[in-house]
Structure 1
Amino acid sequence: MLIILDLDTCPIKYWPWGLRRLSYLQELYGFVVSHLRKLCASLLKIKELTTIRELQIRISDTTVISDNALDVLCQLKGIKVLAIDAEGCTKSDVFKMLDNLTPPPSSNTPRAAS
């Protein structure tokens, strides 16, 4: 029944078993996208969270986004808020990977400016 998971102050290197079964999860903060190894926090793991509405991911100089993960964000049909934190990232290769990401679909409902 968990709907909010904040990993911001406790970055994990490995995606814990069973998180994909959080079928009510709507908000995930502080997810560190890391290497491609099987157990690491790969961007591909995000697509398992089909009810996610708010997502905040962190990118570092060691982040690797594989070609088959470039469309993961566009598969998140219900996402309303996406934040990508690349603070401290200096490698141009990482920014090129981010440029190749397909963004989530836009909402048809206009939002009022705040």
Structure 2
Amino acid sequence: MADGRARVDAGEYARRVNAAVELLESGMPVADAARVLAERFGCSVRQARRYAERAASVGRSTIPEATTVFTVKLPAALVARVRQRASESGSTISALVTQALTEFLARGHGKRPRR
């Protein structure tokens, strides 16, 4: 960001919203929760209020699972098909491959021992 502050990642955002949910569930007003969150997370009261308002309107956020880069070599034609499918579905390549591998492994295809 232009002022030197960086955005938090999705996991940290979810943790902050969930902290706001806990404060609001304890009966704390949004304005007071924002001040507590700002102090706890070292962010502005304005940003903390956004967390509290999100918590009030949506509730708990799911903390996303950590991801890692996984590089594989694939035939160029297959890569082109994956890119095309992701584009057509409005998805990312990562999301498409995650879904495909999850479904593949759920069917038990990954359980055969190597020889």
Q: Considering the TM-score relative to the shorter chain, is it more than 0.5?
A: no
TM-score, normalised via structure 1 length: 0.20
TM-score, normalised via structure 2 length: 0.20
1 or 2, which has the higher helix percentage?
Answer: 2
Larger Rg computed on CA atoms: 2
1 or 2, which has the higher strand percentage?
Answer: 1
